[in-house]
Structures are given as C-alpha cells and as structure tokens.
Amino acid sequence: MKIAPFAVSLALLPALVACGDSGSSTKNPTTNTPAGLGTNPCGTCPAETYCSYGQCVGDPSLTDASLDKCDIFGFDSTNQAAIARFAGNTTRLRYTASNVAIEPPYDKLVVEMNQTDLFAGGQTSGDFELEGTGERGGALLLRGNSYCNDVDCGFTYVPEGGKLEVTDMGAPGGTLKAIIRDLRLKQVRIDTQSGDLIPFARGKVWCLGDYAVDVPVPEINVADGACVAEGTGNLVGDNIRNFTLQNCNGDYVDLHERCAKSKALWIIASAGWCGACEAFVPEAAERYQDLAGQGLDLMVVVGEDQFSEPPSLEYCMDYALSHGLSPEQTFIDNDGTRSWPNLFTAIDTYSGGSIGLPWNVVLDGRSMEYVWSSNTGNGDLYGAQDELLDAE
C-alpha cells in the first residue's frame, strides 16, 4: 500500500479553506520549527545543487571520479521529532524528519544512536563518519527513505559518505544538536527474508548534503499500567488523558470507556476532502475487521467535511457507511473554529506545525499509553500494532 498523505496547517487547526473537487491539498502548511533548524543550513540552493559544508554545490563539484553523479538533491523537513528509550542497559535515541507537506508522497530521514556506546565517559559530543551506518541495532544508524507513507517506504537509501557532528547528544530531557555534513546516500533494496541491504547496480544517488538538527528530547516516561483519568502527559510514553468525542449516532463517548477492552487502539484523523484518506480508511476498516478478534480497536476522527467545514452528524453517518466503518467507531472533532481540537490537544502530533492526513496514532488499549504516531515512534504503523497484539 502506497498512500500519499496530504498536509494541513496546525494553527491550532482553524476551519480550513476548501481544496477543490479533486481533494488535492492546496493549503500552505506552516512549521513552528525555528529558522535554520532541521533544514538545509544554506537556505535555498539552486536546482540540481545541494548544501555541502555551508555552500551550494552541484555535480560539477564532484572531482572524485569514483563518485556517482547525483540523482536527487537536498532535503528540507517540515516535521522533526526525537525520542529516547532505555532498554538492555542502553539509552537509544531516534530522530525522524520528514517533509509531509510535499505530496505525493514524502521523504524521510532517520537517525538512531545508542547513546551509551557513542558517548561513554561523560562525553556529550563527538564526530562520526556515516559511511556504512546501515545496520539496525548498531551504535549508529542513518537511513534515508523516499516514497513513504505510514505503513512503509518505497525506497531505502544508506550513507556512502558524510559526517555527523554532534554538539549535544540529546540526553533525555535535553536537546539534540547536530549537523550532518555532505551526506551522500545510495539506494539499496531490503531482502524481505533476511533483512539484508542489497545494492542496486544502478541505484539512485541522493546528495542530501548538509542538514542541521536542533530538537528537544523528552524525558523517558514510564507509563502506568492502567488508564489515568487526567493523564500523565501527551507525549510518547505518557498515559493519554480522557477526552470526549461525538460519534455519528450523536452519542458522546469518552476515550477511557475503551480502557482495558483491547490490546491496541488505532486512531485515524481524517477529513472529507482528503484524497489519500479515501483509499486508506476503507483498508483500515478491513484490517480492523481482520484483527478485532486479536485485540485491535479502531476510531476514525473526522475533523472536516468535503468543503473543509465542520462535519454534521448526517455527513458523519454518510462518511462512516461509505468507508466501511460503523457509526459507533466514527467521530466528529470540530468546535466550529478549530479542527480536531480534542484529539490534537490530548495527543501531541510531533508535527512541527503541519500534519499529513491521514494521521495515525497507536495507543496501548490497556492503559492508553501513547506508543506510536505518524511523526514519531519506532518502526511503522502495522508493526507498532502487531507488537501490542502479540504481547501477553
């Protein structure tokens, strides 16, 4: 499944202007990422050039005959997030950046660091060569991905050159500050059986270049094993507080009515104008029907109708029935001035100011612990669900 997301602005999500009959987003997403952070330090480089050590360069600058010419140039993110987890006596940090405002579809950059191994002896900074950092579970992993949605990415790239200069390692509760220098990525194929990375004979070269990172790293949270009415926060690892939504039957339903009734709760933010949602939501309904007996629950939260207006109960009912959903699991979230005010207040989107639709979040059904969402968390959407469904 390769469903391209659409992007909308979080401002905090006022009712938005209609997109037109095609359902394609023509909105201008914004970002609250500070200027120069999580982006190309050179600013905007001309076409077919990229930022390298603070200057815009292009293929003519490649004097090393062993280097392949660039097929893709640069990378600017709209969303970035970093989270840390402690397991096996090590602290591992995962940084994810994506450009979901660009559709269809979007690119993604992932950096994973074993902080315990990389920053021993009280160090908080260091420089690391990036070539070969393509193995999962190692001290340092960097991957580029393109043609992505929440479920998977069409193409994977690994470093064939570049350096990671970390000035602040991003200890939990601190800030990850780093710059990637002159990064070159080469397209590879992932063996579906072994997971091995297999080079393409004519794989594309992504000259990503320089990329600056300055992003907070939340404290490592340990969620309670049961629901907490007021919640413990709105970040990954927190117990999400109770909130109320109206379903298509007109009933007001508390989130915590679902506590301990499933293993995994899947929530999808959708809109009537969202073209990508038209294919994704029915497939989600089918997956829910297949896995409901194993403990999967599903809520689809509609924030806007086809005209970007607040959805009515009649529209909600039509939406549910036409997308293979029951009215009881389809909800409205729009207060007349904002879209998805309840959902996106209770659950941080890690979006940096713009969000792609459909937006997905996975909660532990036993405690409403925030496990994964479209812009943060380990692995992909279905993997996060399967891990909860397989847990005892």
* DSSP symbols for 345-359: HHS----TTEEEESE
Q: Residue 137: pLDDT above 90?
A: no
* Residue 103: predicted pLDDT: 56
Percent of the chain with pLDDT over 90: 67
| CA 14/CA 36 separation, integer angstroms | 27
| CA 130/CA 184 separation, integer angstroms | 9
β-strand partners of 153: 148
Residues of the chain with CATH 3.40.30.10: 244-390
68-85 burial, b if ≥16 CB within 10 A, otherwise e? Answer: eebebbbbbbbbbbbbbb
The pTM of the full predicted model, rounded to 2 decimals, is 0.85
Query: pLDDT-based confidence at 7, cuts 50/70/90?
Result: low
Q: Which of 104-118, 164-178, 273-287 has the lowest mean pLDDT?
A: 104-118
Distance of CA 113 to the CA centre of its chain: 18
| CA 131/CA 186 separation, integer angstroms | 10
Query: pLDDT-based confidence at 78, cuts 50/70/90?
Result: confident
| CA 388/CA 367 separation, integer angstroms | 12
Question: In 10 A of CB 162, how many CB atoms?
Answer: 23
Q: Which residues contact 116 (CB under 8 A, 6 or more apart)?
A: 89, 90, 91
Average pLDDT over residues 208-231: 94
CA dihedral 127→131→136→139, nearest 10 degrees, is -20
- Tokens in use for 282? 């029915």
| CA 257/CA 36 separation, integer angstroms | 44
* Residue 240: predicted pLDDT: 98
Q: What single DSSP character describes residue 256?
A: G
Q: Residue 22: pLDDT above 60?
A: no
Q: Residue 32: pLDDT above 70?
A: no
CATH number 3.40.30.10 given to 244-390: yes
Query: pLDDT-based confidence at 1, cuts 50/70/90?
Result: very low
